[in-house]
Amino acid sequence: MRRADIPLVEIVDRLLEKGVVLAGGATISVAGVDLIELRLSVVLAAVDTFERALREEVAS
Amino acid sequence: MRSYVRASDEPRFADLVAVRAGAVAALASEYPGTPRPDEAELRAHDAITRRVHDAMPSLPARFGALYEDPDALRAALVPREKPLEHALAALGTRVEVGVTLRWRAARPHMGPADASGRAFLEERAARERERSEAGQIVERLVAELACERALIRERICPHEGVAATVAVLTTRDGETNVRRRVESFGRNASEVTTDLYGPFPPYSFVS
């Protein structure tokens, strides 16, 4: 699928609400409105969950 | 900020600055001012993170993270080196496929004209039924995909007319299988249609 075919709403949902945010030193701002910062510990917790799932996926 | 990659992959992109901290590197664009979330800027960020991910394992940065200069970015990166290295090893080579489940028939919702207490309660009950039904449909899709639940992220009723948006984490080799299973699900689902998007870098799995 060409990228232009992807509706803007699909991109907005991902780019503004998801993706890595380093906890310190950055200004997280879009048009002057601060976004909610995610702590990296949240990322780590998610990675741990995936690693378990991936191990089970490989084992099965 | 655009993407995080492994320093050992020696990232070199003509339009991106690479800031290294041990085993990881952050890829950023030099940008005057604050990016506005208009369509052109969002599609540019999407294109850059996808281009990086096509070239090497990466994690996408959320749109709108700004650092004053490379030193500020490095200072933020140094204490996060190990967690990012860990996350890159677990997720960096994977992609996410987006699935949008749209209701085939419009869901009746009352407008602002129906402002009575009874109308409000009926509206709320209808929304709850819609969410419940959408959740059940997502679980059927998960069963069709036959993959670990942890590799799936969903948002229930995120927009009017949309039952759910689902992100499926998979390998590049596994993408075709995901698409085939989603299309099969869509052909057999009487309540929703399915649209597939991507692959994207694993946005939904690092947030």
Reading the block at residue B113, the tokens are 């004209």
CB contact under 8 A, A26 and B45: no
CB contact under 8 A, A29 and B66: yes
The whole-number average pLDDT for the span B104-114 is 69
Q: How far is CA A5 from CA A1, A9, B78, in A?
A: 7, 11, 38
CB contact under 8 A, B64 and A57: no
Residue B189 has pLDDT above 70, yes or no: yes
**Chain B residues touching residue A50 (CB < 8 angstroms):** 90-91, 150-151, 169, 205
Chain B window 71-90: which residues touch A at a Cβ cutoff of 8 Å? 72-73, 75-77, 79-80, 83-84, 86-87, 90
Cis before residue B32, ω within 30 degrees of 0? no
| B51 three-state secondary structure | helix
How far away is chain B from the Cα of A45, in angstroms, using its nearest Cα?
9
Please give the torsion angle defined by the CA atoms of residues B161, A1, B30 and B60, in that order, rounded to the nearest 10 degrees: 70
pLDDT at A34: 42
> Within 13 Å of residue B118, how many CA atoms lie on the same side as its CB?
0
Reading the block at residue B183, the tokens are 């299309």
Digit-coded pLDDT (tens) for B53-79? 999 999 999 888 888 889 989 988 998
Digit-coded pLDDT (tens) for A1-58? 334 478 888 888 888 888 887 755 454 444 444 444 433 333 444 455 555 655 565 5
pLDDT at B21: 94
Residue B34 has pLDDT above 80, yes or no: no
The span from the CA of B185 to the CA of B183, in Å, is: 5
pLDDT at B80: 87
pLDDT at B159: 86
Chain B window 132-151: which residues touch A at a Cβ cutoff of 8 Å? 147-151
Reading the block at residue B47, the tokens are 């294109």
> Quick one: which of B46, B83, B118 has its CA closest to B206?
B83
pLDDT at B136: 97
How is the beta sheet containing B65-66 ordered, strand by strand? A33-34, A27-30, B65-66
**Chain B residues touching residue A46 (CB < 8 angstroms):** 205-207
How far away is chain A from the Cα of B117, in angstroms, using its nearest Cα?
33
pTM of the entire structure? 0.80
**Chain B residues touching residue A51 (CB < 8 angstroms):** 90
Among B59, B165, B206, most A C-beta atoms within 10 A, so best to mutate, is: B206
Give yes or no for a contact between B63 and A16, defined as CB atoms under 8 angstroms apart. Answer: yes
